[in-house]
Amino acid sequence: MMKQHCITDYFQETYDLDRIKNLPITDKFRLINYIKLVSGASEVAKEKSIAEITRSKYYEMDPTFHLLVSLITSGISAQVVADVIEAYAHHFEDSDIYVAQLIILGAGALMIQKGLDTDSITNYLIALLGNEFLKDNFIRIYSERDVLELTDENIITIKYRDFDYTYRKLKYDLLALLKMKREIGYEKVKEVIYEQYDNKSLRFYFKLLDLKNTEISDHLYEKMMQDSPKMDRFLLTAVKALLSEMTIIETHYLLNAVIGKYTRFEKPYSEVIEEIKLRETEILSL
């Protein structure tokens, strides 16, 4: 099932939504503000355009929503945005409130990207909080729909990973390989991976997933992503990007999500490209 074709089924099958339903009622009221945030941004998209969200008050209210809106307005596919959400959620598996906030903001962003109407988005997100909570508070929520209060008392600040230099050079190496695939072709990049670039794990995962039958390849990828440690998931993600049609910018944000590192979207993309070029030159000179 393609994630962008049936968002509600995707979230039902991918996440344990009972973690949201079973939250304390105080946390549910905190999450209501983030549903209102999504709802307000959806109205902006409906009345003007998705791009206008980046010029609205909603864009800077929460860093996670800021990133997700940046991704959907930059033309990144719903499939990759969903993968980014999954990758971050993997790091928050011990925090129900972080996962709940990420799912609400992520589902909301994907629904806005898909063009769903505001009421449908809002009602779906409220329903995630549980039937009893929904019945008791639905009218109140709608009557206070325009009252958005993200204060020190009710704000939820997701704590992302600190920058990890273990992955920095490797990330740009992998992005350089992706750039090379586009420039010198798939077969040449395979040769570089197997004969020049010294990373046995990368070679293993490339050999494992480089299959004519994409259904088997996708199955192996999904299984190994569930059971593997972070470094292996990082390499698996890079290999998947090399074997698919993912762009450099999509892969850049997805790899950061696998690390658990927050990415501020405003960083000049030219800086990323320049570093990739340096790594490309060094790899080809091996």
The tens-digit pLDDT sequence of the chain (286 residues) is 444 458 899 999 999 999 999 999 999 999 999 999 999 999 999 999 999 999 999 999 999 999 999 999 988 999 999 999 999 999 998 999 999 999 999 999 999 999 999 999 999 999 999 998 888 888 877 777 777 777 777 899 999 987 778 899 999 999 999 999 999 999 999 999 999 999 999 999 999 999 999 999 999 999 999 889 999 999 999 999 999 989 999 999 999 999 999 987 665 577 888 999 999 999 988 7
Residues 207 and 266 grouped into a single domain: yes
Residue 108, pLDDT score: 97
Residues 104 and 185 grouped into a single domain: no
Residue 18, pLDDT score: 95
Residues 132 and 220 grouped into a single domain: no
Residues 102 and 181 grouped into a single domain: no
Within a domain: 155: no
Residues 121 and 173 grouped into a single domain: no
Residue 266, pLDDT score: 61
Domain count, the chain: 2
Residues 180 and 261 grouped into a single domain: yes
Residue 268, pLDDT score: 57
SS in 3 state form for the chain? CCCCCCHHHHHHHHCCCHHHHCCCHHHHHHHHHHHHHHHHHHHHHHHCCHHHHHHCHHHHCCHHHHHHHHHHHCCCCHHHHHHHHHHHHHHCCCCHHHHHHHHHHHHHHHHHHHCCCHHHHHHHHHHCCCHHHHHHHHHHHHHCCCCCCCCCCCCCCCCCECCCHHHHHHHHHHHHHHHHHHHHCHHHHHHHHHHCCCCHHHHHHHHHHCCCCHHHHHHHHHHHHHHCCHHHHHHHHHHHHHHCCCCHHHHHHHHHHHHCECCCCCCCHHHHHHHHHHHHHHHHCC
Domain that holds residue 214: 165-284
Domain edge (last residue) among 143, 176, 196: 143
Residues 86 and 125 grouped into a single domain: yes
Residue 5, pLDDT score: 54
pTM for the whole thing? 0.91
Residues 169 and 122 grouped into a single domain: no
Residue 78, pLDDT score: 93
Residues 134 and 180 grouped into a single domain: no
Residue 166, pLDDT score: 83
Residues 169 and 139 grouped into a single domain: no
Residues 139 and 169 grouped into a single domain: no
